[in-house]
Amino acid sequence: MRPQDILLPAVAGLCCKPGGFHIDPVRPVERAVITHGHSDHARAGHGAVLATQETLDMMRLRYGENFAGSTQAIRYGEEIRLGDVSVKFHPAGHVLGSAQIAVTCKDTCIVASGDYKDAPDPTCTPLELVPCDVFITEATFGLPVFRHGDAADEVKKLLASVALFPERAHLVGAYSLGKAQRVIALLRQAGYDAPIYLHGAMETITEYYQSRNIDLGELRPVKGVKKAALAGTITLAPPSATSDLWTRRFPDPVTAFASGWMRVRARARQRGVELPLVISDHADWDGLTATIAATGAGEIWVTHGQEDALVHWCRSKGLKAQPLDLVGYGDEEESETPLQDEAEA
C-alpha cells in the first residue's frame, strides 16, 4: 500500500481515509485524533475525539465541557483499531500529554509526530523514538541556525539578571501551556525557591499541571500584589501581556521571553525583549535531524515551519522527502506573524 493511500493532506488537516479520521484537524470533522493540547492542534467542535487523558482535560479546561460530541482517552503504548488501520500513541516530549501517533495499515507504518522535542523536560514524558516507514516531522526550527542549547543555562542567565537588578521585577513571557510550567520547574531545579508569580491567564493550566503531581513549588497570583513588593521577583505571563499596559504594575520590569525564536536577535529585538531566553518545546535543528535519522524511516514528510531546509537536508542524506502543505499551523507560508507562532514556540 502506498503511504499516501493511508494519510493525505486535506483541507481540514491530515486525513486517514481507511481509518475514517483526521489528525489535528483545523476544521470540525466527524472523527479527530489529536496529538496535544495547543490550540492550533486541538480545536473544539469535532464529533468524536481520541487523545490522551491530559490532552482531553486541557481541551475541556479551554473550551468547556461540550467541546466535542464524544471523547475517548488513550494511554501511551495503547493500540486501537479504527476502520482498516491501527492507531498507537507514543510520547512526543513536547508538553504534558503530547503524543506521536503511529498509524499502521497492513505492513506500512506512518508516524505523525505532531510537535516534539528531544530535550529533557521535567514536566512531561520524554520523546520515544518510534521506528517507522514514513515519519511526519514538524519543522518549526528547521534551520541550522536554531540550536537551543541547555535550557538550564538560560535559567541561570535569568537568575543572574535578578541578582544584578534586585530593585527591578523580572517578567518572563512564556506560552501558558507547557512552557510556563517548564520554566518554573527549571527555576526550581536551579535552586530558586522564592514564590513565583503568575499572570491570571496562567493560573488554570498551571493548577492542572500541579494536579497531575508536577511539583512547581510556591506559586502566587500577581493580581493585587503591591508594586514595591514585586521588586526582585519573577513573574510568568503570556507573551502578549509582556508588552501590554499590564506591565505598568511592575517596578521597572526586565522583559524576558522564553522561546526558541530568541536565538535570532532580530526576533528578540522586534518584540522589545531585553532578556531573551532560548528555551523551546520544539526540537532544534540537531534534534530534528537526529530524530529523523533515528526513526529509520526512508520517507520524510515535513510540515509547518521551515520545510525547505529540512527537505533539502533529508534528500542530501538519501532520504525521500517532501513538504506537506498543511495550513492552519502557524502562519500560512513563512511562519512569520510573530504573535501567533511564537506564542507556541
Partner 1 sequence: MNRFAELLDRLAYEPGRNNKLRLITGYFREVGDPDRGYALAALTGALSFKHAKPALVRDLIAARTDEVLFGLSYDYVGDLSETVALMWPRAELAGHNNPPPPTLTEVVTTLRTLGKTELPKQLERWLDELDEIGRWALLKLVTGALRIGISARLAKTAAAALGDKDPHEIELIWPGLSPPYLDLFAWLEGRGEKPVNRDPAPFRPVMLAHAIEDGDFAALDPTDYIAEWKWDGIRVQAVAGRDDRGHITARLYSRTGEDITGSFPDLVPSLRLPGAIDGELLILREGRVQSFNVLQQRLNRKVVSPKLIKEFPIHLRAYDLLGDDENDLRELPFAGRRERLERFIKKLDDPRIDLSPTVPFTSWEALTAARADPASAGAGEDADAVEGVMLKRRDAPYLPGRPKGQWWKWKRDPHIIDAVLMYAQRGHGKRSSYYSDYTFGVWTAGDGGDELVPVGKAYFGFTDEELLQIDRFVRRNTTEKFGPVRHVVHEGDKGLVLEVAFEGLQRSPRHKSGIAMRFPRISRLRWDKPPREADRLETLERMLKAEPAEIEV
**Residues engaged in binding partner 1 (CB under 8 A):** 143-147, 149, 164-165, 252, 263-270, 272-276, 306, 308-309, 312-313, 316, 336, 338
Rounded CA-CA distance 221/199 in Å is: 6
Nearer to partner 1, 124 or 309 (CB): 309
Rounded CA-CA distance 323/115 in Å is: 16
Nearer to partner 1, 67 or 285 (CB): 285
Nearer to partner 1, 65 or 252 (CB): 252
Nearer to partner 1, 10 or 264 (CB): 264
For the CB of residue 150, give the shortest distance to partner 1 in the complex, in Å. 11
Q: Give the three-state DSSP class for 137.
A: strand
For the CB of residue 198, give the shortest distance to partner 1 in the complex, in Å. 24
Nearer to partner 1, 26 or 264 (CB): 264
Rounded CA-CA distance 12/28 in Å is: 8
Nearer to partner 1, 1 or 327 (CB): 327
Q: Give the three-state DSSP class for 134.
A: strand
For residues 247 and 241, is the Cβ–Cβ distance under 8 A?
Answer: yes
For the CB of residue 10, give the shortest distance to partner 1 in the complex, in Å. 25
For the CB of residue 308, give the shortest distance to partner 1 in the complex, in Å. 6
Nearer to partner 1, 223 or 312 (CB): 312
Nearer to partner 1, 28 or 338 (CB): 338
Which amino acid, 335? S
Nearer to partner 1, 67 or 141 (CB): 141
For the CB of residue 243, give the shortest distance to partner 1 in the complex, in Å. 12
Dihedral sign for Cα atoms in the order 154, 159, 163, 165: positive
Helical H segments across the chain, by residue range: 3-6, 53-63, 151-164, 179-189, 200-211, 265-270, 285-295, 307-316, 338-343
- Any long-range contacts for 19-27 (C-beta under 8 Å, 24+ apart)? 19/82, 19/83, 19/84, 19/85, 19/87, 19/103, 19/105, 20/82, 20/83, 21/50, 21/82, 21/83, 23/101, 23/112, 23/114, 24/112, 24/114, 24/329, 26/327, 26/328, 26/329
For the CB of residue 269, give the shortest distance to partner 1 in the complex, in Å. 5
For the CB of residue 323, give the shortest distance to partner 1 in the complex, in Å. 13
Provide the strand spans (E) within the chain: 8-10, 13-16, 21-23, 31-33, 46-51, 68-73, 79-82, 85-91, 99-105, 108-112, 134-139, 170-173, 196-198, 219-221, 234-237, 254-258, 275-277, 299-305, 320-323
Pairing of strands 8-10, 13-16: antiparallel
What cell was used for 185?
Answer: 520547574
For the CB of residue 73, give the shortest distance to partner 1 in the complex, in Å. 40
For the CB of residue 252, give the shortest distance to partner 1 in the complex, in Å. 8
